[in-house]
Amino acid sequence: MRFCEIQGNDDVKRALAGMVDAGKVPHAILFHEDDGCGAVPMCVAFLQYLFCPDRAGGDSCGRCPSCNKVAKLIHPDIHFVYPVTGGSLIPSSAKPTALSYVKQWRDLVLGNPYFTERDLGEALGIEGKASLISVAEAREILGRLSFHSLEGGWRAVVVYLPEKMNADAANRLLKSIEEPPERTLFLLVTHAPEKVLPTISSRCQHIRLMPVRRPGAAAGAEEAEERELMTALLSAILARDLSEALETGEAIAALPSRERIKSFLHYASRMLRNVFLIQQHLPALSDAEDVEEEDLHRFASGLKRSYPRSVLPLLDRSAMLIDRNVNAKIVLCDLVNKMFVL
Ligand SMILES: [Zn+2]
């Protein structure tokens, strides 16, 4: 994947290419993206640029053997780590690591570079299950880094969702991130930087990726459902109709998996941020889709100015509780009640 194949975030591409050109590549970079905004392909394009012997004009050549291997996600010096758990695709006796699912990972990233956490769960056959980056995984990475780079140049570890590393795994990796072996680069992609262990986060250079409007994006149907639910909820709140609001809350709690509920909560945050921006007369900063505009303006004029800012932490907290397997009906009922009285 070349930079030119990635839409948007041109300033980030320039900054990354600039680091390579100047010979100032940091040991570790933490990319913060909204779910599904393409940070993994950005990492791949960056590594392809770093590894390419024929880079020119701020992009990799896209033709040399190195580019070829990086683009196919089969370069022996690039390791991908992502949260996993046991699932239908691997024997139940196995202790899975990312390597157990490497084929599914490649198919997903190559087929749908703007994949979401939920897409990953589905691709690995572990949808709706809590997954993590385990200490076994950390051990495996360190083992692989103890060898020299196979192609004699840089080595890289891309960690997708470091917030899902347990403390043991994080502590094991910490030393490598603090003092990496020479020409070794850690690229971390997070959706929740506040949940990344501070000792790790503080060792990384931080880069925020902005969401890009992508016509016909994969999330289509599900995002439409999320939009419908959130619009129904805020409409009921504006109409002071508590029973309608609670019913909508139940419909949200009945979404088919915890990942879907989290995805809804994420969408809800995004919508409220856009409402907030409209209230602040900064609509240019919003990433709203055209179909949302009318409702957003209705909510912006109907809701108090303090409303979005008061609700956002409640949504974050609900997502955290859903993550911890708290009963979804209870979480949503509580959330709706609080959103109603604010
Ligand atoms: Zn090349």
Residue 278 has pLDDT above 70, yes or no: yes
Q: Do the domains 3-208 and 220-341 sit in the same CATH topology, yes or no?
A: no
| Range 187-205 average pLDDT | 93
Q: What CATH homologous superfamily does 3-208 map to?
A: P-loop containing nucleotide triphosphate hydrolases (3.40.50.300)
Residue spans per domain, the chain: 3-208, 220-341
> 109 CA distance to ligand 1 centroid (A)?
20
Contacts of 211 (CB under 8 A, 6+ apart): 33, 34, 37, 287
> 52 CA distance to ligand 1 centroid (A)?
4
Q: In 62-148, where does DSSP find H-type helix?
A: 65-71, 102-111, 117-123, 135-145
What confidence tier does 289 reach under pLDDT thresholds 50, 70, 90? confident
Helix or strand or coil: residue 199? Answer: helix
Give residue for tokens 């992502």: 82
Q: Buried (b) or exposed (e) across 93-122, using 16+ Cβ within 10 A?
A: eeebbbebbeebbeebbeeebbbbbbbbbb
> 65 CA distance to ligand 1 centroid (A)?
7
What confidence tier does 156 reach under pLDDT thresholds 50, 70, 90? very high
Could you please report the per-residue DSSP string of 296-328? HHHHHHHS-TTHHHHHHHHHHHHHHHHHTT--H
> 59 CA distance to ligand 1 centroid (A)?
9
Q: Which amino acid is at 226?
A: E
Q: Indicate the average pLDDT of the chain.
A: 91
> 18 CA distance to ligand 1 centroid (A)?
17
Per residue in 68-110, pLDDT (tens digit) is: 999 999 999 999 999 999 887 877 767 899 999 999 999 999 9
| Range 323-331 average pLDDT | 93
Per residue in 171-183, pLDDT (tens digit) is: 888 888 888 888 9
Per residue in 229-244, pLDDT (tens digit) is: 999 999 999 999 999 9
Residue 339 has pLDDT above 60, yes or no: yes
> 44 CA distance to ligand 1 centroid (A)?
13
Closest CA to 105 of 29, 31, 34, 160: 160
> 151 CA distance to ligand 1 centroid (A)?
14
Q: Buried (b) or exposed (e) across 200-218, using 16+ Cβ within 10 A?
A: bbebbeebebeeeeeeeeb
- Burial, 294: exposed, middle or buried (Cβ in 10 Å; 0-12, 13-18, 19+)? exposed
Taking domain 220-341, whether its CATH number is 1.20.272.10 is answered by: yes
> 214 CA distance to ligand 1 centroid (A)?
27
Per residue in 122-153, pLDDT (tens digit) is: 999 998 889 999 999 999 999 888 877 777 78
